[in-house]
Amino acid sequence: MEIKTIGVVGAGSMGNGIAQVAAQSGYNVIMSDIEERFVQNGYNNIDKFLAKSVEKGKMAADQKAAIMGRIKTTTKIEDMKDVDYVIEAVFEDMGIKKATFKQLDEITRKDVILGTNTSSMSITEIANATNRGDKVVGLHFFNPVPLMKLIEIIHGFNTSDETVKVSFDLAKKLGKEPIEVKTDIPGFVVNRLMLPHMIEAVLLYQDGVASKEDIDKAAKLGLNYPMGPFELMDLTGVDIALNIANYFYQELNTEVKWSAPRMMKDLVKAGRLGRKVGKGWYDYGK
């Protein structure tokens, strides 16, 4: 199956990053979202990222123009009808994802693979909203998408070997390093490793063991992480971390280790969701 046009559903930080990487790799892209302001913001973020590359001499201006020219935006999911592969990057909510996949199943050609960028949720359950479970696959990118090399490719219960192979080949053509996640478990590999670090960091801070600044410093200098757990939660969204923790708690036999700490819940209630709103565990002056 030849892939020429990739549909990206969702124009947020993950969606516009995926659209950018696809366009840079030579694919035509249709990027959609539910409102024009979301689509335009995503398109502008791509433009800003590439403009910095031009300023730094990493890319010629005509290359940037060619990349931007391969990206079309829309607020109509129906415009996905002629794409050759779909990557969904909507909000991390099972109901929203299933509704989106039901629409995509009705709109796209029956041979089109539907990939979900979910970071933790069941590929199998998402696929149940379609009549093509063999062609639904997890395709989990990492933030920021243009810079992070990893893609987790996750089997759902009915995902075919051919679907996984096509997705692996696509990941490599996007300049990424894919790994295969053979079982559809909550959180896959990376988030199963990462979330306990976040929860323990919040508990240490909540119990007064150390400041959040020192906990971040400890992770960076003692574990050689590029950023600390509080910095990472602010980057990816404190609400996202909370949603994942709640999902793990629900799905993994309600093990106490997945229970979201009170301070994480309080931060989300206060609207301190991270860099995207200018304040999370830290203030960013927006």
Active-site amino acid positions: 119, 140, 152, 191
Distances (CA, A) of 60 to 48, 53, 56, 112: 14, 8, 10, 34
Q: What are the DSSP calls for 130-159, one per residue?
A: SS-GGGEEEEE--SSTTT--EEEEE--TT-
How many residues belong to the chain?
286
The contacts of residue 158 (CB under 8 Å, 6+ apart) are 124, 127, 133, 134, 136
**Looking at this protein, which amino acid is placed at residue 109?**
R
**Percentages (nearest 5) of helix, strand, coil residues in the chain:** 50, 15, 35
Strand-by-strand arrangement of the 28-32 sheet: 71-74, 28-32, 5-9, 85-88, 113-116, 136-140, 150-154, 177-181
To the nearest 10°, the Cα dihedral for 178, 43, 92, 148?
Answer: 30
